[in-house]
Amino acid sequence: MSYLAQVFKVFIASPSDVAIERNLVREVLAEWNEVNSSTRSLVVLPIGWETHCAPEMGATPQDIVNKRILNDADILIGVFWTSTRFAK
């Protein structure tokens, strides 16, 4: 059955080397929606550069992502990784 809900766009910002972790964030958001969205009338909608941005000319890739996705996002989740072999 349908219901009215407020939608929050959640921008998952990350470099391409953390694709597995980025997908885990999407899975967690999907699970949250399944459990909570109808009772709270709230949906968290994951958005990211790989799914919500098409190639474009005339600006840097980061500027395109910022214009197309980041400026309209309500929440930002940043995912980064570093190797422990570089840590001192």
Handedness of CA 13, 63, 45, 4 (dihedral sign): positive
**Nearest Cα residue to 47 out of 20, 21, 65:** 65
Backbone dihedral angles phi then psi of residue 17, each to the nearest 5 degrees: -80, 5
What confidence score (pLDDT) does residue 86 get? Answer: 56
pLDDT higher than 90, residue 75: yes
Share of the chain above pLDDT 90, in %: 51
Backbone dihedral angles phi then psi of residue 30, each to the nearest 5 degrees: -65, -40
Q: Summarize the confidence of residues 9-23 as an average pLDDT.
A: 90
Total Cβ atoms within 10 A of residue 79: 16
pLDDT higher than 80, residue 24: yes
What confidence score (pLDDT) does residue 76 get? Answer: 94
Q: Does the model's pTM come out above 0.85?
A: no
Q: Which of 6-10, 19-23, 34-38 has the lowest mean pLDDT?
A: 19-23
8 versus 17: which is more confidently predicted? 8
